[in-house]
Each structure stands twice: as C-alpha cells, then as structure tokens.
Structure 1
C-alpha cells in the first residue's frame, strides 16, 4: 500500500542523534551546515571509489573550492559550479574532469561543485563565491535529477530509500558520516502569478534544525508543499491534492490523464519533472543575466546519470527536451553530455551495461571524468579568449604532420 503524505513525512523526520553528529564541528562528517545553502563540504575519505577503494577529497579552505592540483600557482579564469558531477564525487582530488582538462589546457580550473545540489543552489553558490574568488568564465552544470532539486525545500526527504535508514544507523560510526541535504534556499512555483519565486532557507540556524525532530512540526511545515504533493502523487498517494496538481498542470502546460490510476500516476510524474525542468530554465536565465551584468561568460554542461544513460543508449527518447529546447532557442553556449555518449557508444560492440561500467562507478570514474574533460575540451577552447597557451599556435590545422607521429 502506498504511503500517505503524513506517513512519508513521519518516516523522514530527523532525529536528535543525527543532528548532534552532523552539527559537531569535530566529527568525521562529509558535510557541514551552511545557513544559506544548507551545507558545504568538508575534507573527507570515503570508501566509494573504483574497485571499492577509498577516495580523498580536500577543500581549501574548509567549505571552499576543491583542492587545485594542476597549475595551482597560476591565475585562474574558469570557475565551475554544480552538483556531484562537478564536485566529481567518488574520485580523489587529481582525478576530476577539471584537473584532466586543466592539465591539457595548462591552466587551473576551480571546482565549487557540491554533491546533491540542484542547479538553483549551485547558482546561489556562484553569487557568493564570485564576490571573493571571481573568474571571467563560469561553467554551470545540470544533471538529470538536479531539475527537481531546485524546487525542494528539504531535499533529503526525497532521496533514495536506502539513504535515511543508513544515516540513522551510522551516527556512532567511525566512518565518514553522510548526512546532508537539510533545508536550503530554493525555487517555488507561485500558483497565482505562474512565476518561480526565489525563497531563502527558512531553517538557517542549527537551533532551527532541531525543530525538525518533531513529527508534528515536520507535518505542519511541509504538508502543503506543492513539490511534496507532486512527488507523492507520482508514488500513488491517495491524499495528494489533485486540485493543487491541476493548478500546477495548467501553468506548466501538462495534460492530466485521469482515465486510470496508472495514467494519473504518470501524469503526476510528468508534472513533477516539468516543475523541475522549467525551474532549471529559470535558473539558467538568472545565471546568464548575472554573468552578462558582471562581464563574465557562461557555459552550461549537462551530464547524465547511469539510469538516463541506460534508457537512451537502449533507444529511448531523452526526457529533458524542455531544457534542451530552452538552451538552443536562447543561444546558450552548452555541452550535451548525453549525445556525446550516444556518439561514443557507436564505436563499441558491447552491451549497454558493459559500456556504462567503462565510465561509471555511480558517478563518473576517473575514466569517465577523463572522457568528460576531453569531450568538453573543444567547446571550452573555442569559448576562451585568449586561447589557452597550449592552443596559441600559428598553424591552425588540427591534424598537421608536425603533430601526427608514427
């Protein structure tokens, strides 16, 4: 039987033990509290890499950009923002796509990625970091689940089923503690205006987080959230408010098929995804307006999950046409990670799953980050002015005899 919204919120109510560990500055934690963005990252060592190895992540200073490895003593003109595919989760410091690309271009690339962020939260971090560590060129990513993260007031309640039980069970563990994705700043679709409102974090202190250990408080605070109703309706919850969903559908131009329980669930899933994807388009517009105002250049990068990759490589249509159409229609400079893999797969004679294992360990493996860097490289080189020192050659031929050696 499908869980009700009340049951869903009760299941995800925080515990004092989790918050005590998470808010302990001396604890071995993956993340640390931030009043605006919810959380930032700490130095960590986690057994999550290829071959089940430990990966080491260093942030300089604490909560800052990931450690620069290549050309760290040189001026930096590229800052990158986004989720775990910018952070490059599950690899160590020198194995990120930024470091592979930096080594090739002979100039540093800063990494401000944060795992589990949406595009909007990454944009808000951009606004903060560019005040103190500015760069002329900005890369912002949007992974396929990031779209809905933009509109989540409290992202961790929507995470995979194994996440919360694992967190609750590990408060005394000597391993890196993984709790994160507490409330943050987010976008909310205004059902009166049809626009997305920017909303600041309404749990901006450690003390306010402890309120979320109270089942009744959590229910009263989140029970009317439209993203909760869309998410739960897509799970088949009988207490989802279809009047609210109908208003959302009208604004988002999504048709609701009420001919069966299954079709209603599919319609709710479409509303939920469209709600997120249109918020990503809003965020891209905000980021470009900011970049233009500050005399900066913006590049959008779209990486994809193993789930999305499996579907498309097996012949399914991509599900982010709303985002792709917006980028193309409005003249954004962008890199399509999905189509790069589709083209690459044509050179292989193997099953989709074997191809995916070549590049992924959940996130990109070091091999996946290397692929990502060199697929982005032509667009980045063309984007930069002046060109990187490694591309300031007199002979423009890409396959000149001087560079092809037997």
Structure 2
C-alpha cells in the first residue's frame, strides 16, 4: 500500500514527534466518520468527542498533510470576502449571524492550545499592510465594519507607526489586529490530533476514502476496509479529488508557494519585525510573511490556478521577498514548497448537507486557518440538532465556475490578472 509522506517543508522538518497511526484494516463502526485529518476534520472531531460522539477519521496521507500543515501560519479573522460583501449577497439578517461568527475561529484556536497544551509557537498580533491610499481607505472601512460586529482589538497605523512594526518601505500605513497572530500550523494540527485521540477518537492515516456508499446508514470505503457510520463529514477540501462530484463541480484547487530562509541573526530578525507580528499586504494576490520561533523568515504568495506545482518555487517567491526586504539579498533559502487551497467562485465557504447524513465544509479560498476551526464547531452543532449557525453558512450561494471544470482555470487566471493589474496601477 502506498505511503504518502509530508512534503519537504520547514514545518515537516520542525514538527513535534508523533505516534504511528496505522491504516484502516477491516470494518469498523462509529457515530461519525470524518474524511480528512486537517483543521476542519480535527476541529469537528474535537467538538463531537467533547459532546459524547464516537468518532473515526480517515486520512489519505498524514495528519495535516494538506493546507493545514503547509499554510503561512497566520491567524486572520473574518472570511475571504468580508461581512459587507456577505450582507450585500444574502441580506442583513443572515449577515448578522455570520458576522458574529467572523472572529470566533481565532478564539477557538487559542482555547484549544490552552486546554490541550498544544506546543505550536502561538504569537499574538497580525498586520494588514497598505501599499496605496485606496488600500488604506479600505482598512479604515474594514475597521469600522469589524467594530460594528464587536471586534475592537484594532489599531490603524500611519506610515510612521507601521515602520515601527515592519521594516518595509513599501507601506504607507496599515491596521494591527491584536487578536490575529501566527502559529506553527502543522504542530497545531498534530496537537489537535493528539487531543482527538486523548478523548477516544481514532485516526487512520494512509487511508484514502475511495467511495461513499450513500443511504440511511452510509459507509466510507477505503482500500483495505470500510467505516459504517450514522453521519459522515467530508473535510478534504483541496485534496478531496472527485470523491463527491457535486462538490468538485463548484470549487477549484489552487496552489500557493512558500519559502523559508536560513536562521537569521537575532539583530536582523528584530530589525525586520521588531514585535514579531505576522504581516500580509492588501493586494488581490497578496504576499504574507512572519518569523518562526528559530528566527527564520517565512514568506509566501502567488497563486497557481489548478494547483500545478511550479518547477522553481524560489524563483517565484524570492523576488517578492527581496522587494519587501532587500537587506536579505545574501540570505540563503532553506525550504521551498507549495500547497493547495480550495477556491470558490464567490470566495465564500461552501457548507451543506447531502441527503440526511453527509455533511461538508469546503472552499475557504485562502482564508482557512480560523474559518476551519469555526466550521468544525458549526458542523458539530448541526449533528447535535442545533442547526441555526450551520444554516446561515449553508444559505450562502454555491456557484459553479463558468465553463465548468474545463474553463475554470483560464477564466480565474484572467480575473486574477485583471485585479493584479489594478493593484500595480493603484486602482
């Protein structure tokens, strides 16, 4: 049977020790079978286990193998499209409920880290950096919007103030969110998996779901076994493939690239990011970066539509890093990798139920670290019969890509080119 290891990333190289988790052999029964041991699956499992459910997770590779263990490690609030867009899309009543949840994911992460003593280098503070006056105006509006929904840990920064937190000459201002922050994302997933197992949950690694047998008592089939369950949660996101065709038709895997420098001197690291905040700029195709616990700079950006792996990741991302920090010209890159996230046409997550007993959440659209933790709680509530918050997400429109799967990549790339051009021209 194939054994799929972690990609050669900084996160995999610095991961905390984990126990062996064998593949599923034979047949098991459970209350809930979760497909995917990333943040959505792990968060769902924890909330369900804490409420007395019996839970089994099947994972095609290893815990956190996908986006959960490869992302930039930034805790960013709200959704990929903000609450004002949601309000225009679905109206004020539904938007009010979704707005109240927009800042919950970060709190869930911190609660998990504290409750289960997860060692994942959690740091507070995230910066949104504006390059143009239009972007600065957007941040001013965003601050008012978020404060309308009770989120008050925000500070607008002028050019002088942002220079105090990031040594980049490109920014004219920004916004600091002290409820944002950053983590070692793979170690967060591994810590959550350990918490799942401490509560009696079972995780089968190297166990891809190859078929779902639908019906009153659904069955998840794997290469060497099957899981009979009362409920199924589909949490594969960009790594789900075509297991559930009706979900694949309304989403598109996309790749993003990340590099990690060699360890920097304490003085250089402190010069770049004196308060150790994470940063993302406000461009449509944004760049993001932060320091690791051992003083490396992690820098990510770019999107490859259709999730192809670029031949030379460093060649794509290093120029972006040097544009922000030319002082790193002679610094060596130790790690470079790509990872996939799942894009939806609306850039809003897709949540729903297939039949009576198959639940799903997918399509974080690059905004998944906080949302997935919230999604786990919302899915668990729905399985317990408390569906108001689930229904608020399920009511968001799920659009198919124009032209279907054949044309979704070129159409999305053209759209991204257009918005990237607007960024460069300052519109």
TM-score (norm 1): 0.29
Larger helix share, 1 or 2 = 1
Question: Larger radius of gyration, structure 1 or 2?
Answer: 1
Larger relative contact order, structure 1 or 2 (CA cutoff 8 Å, min sep 6) = 2
TM-score computed with the length of structure 2 as normaliser:
0.28
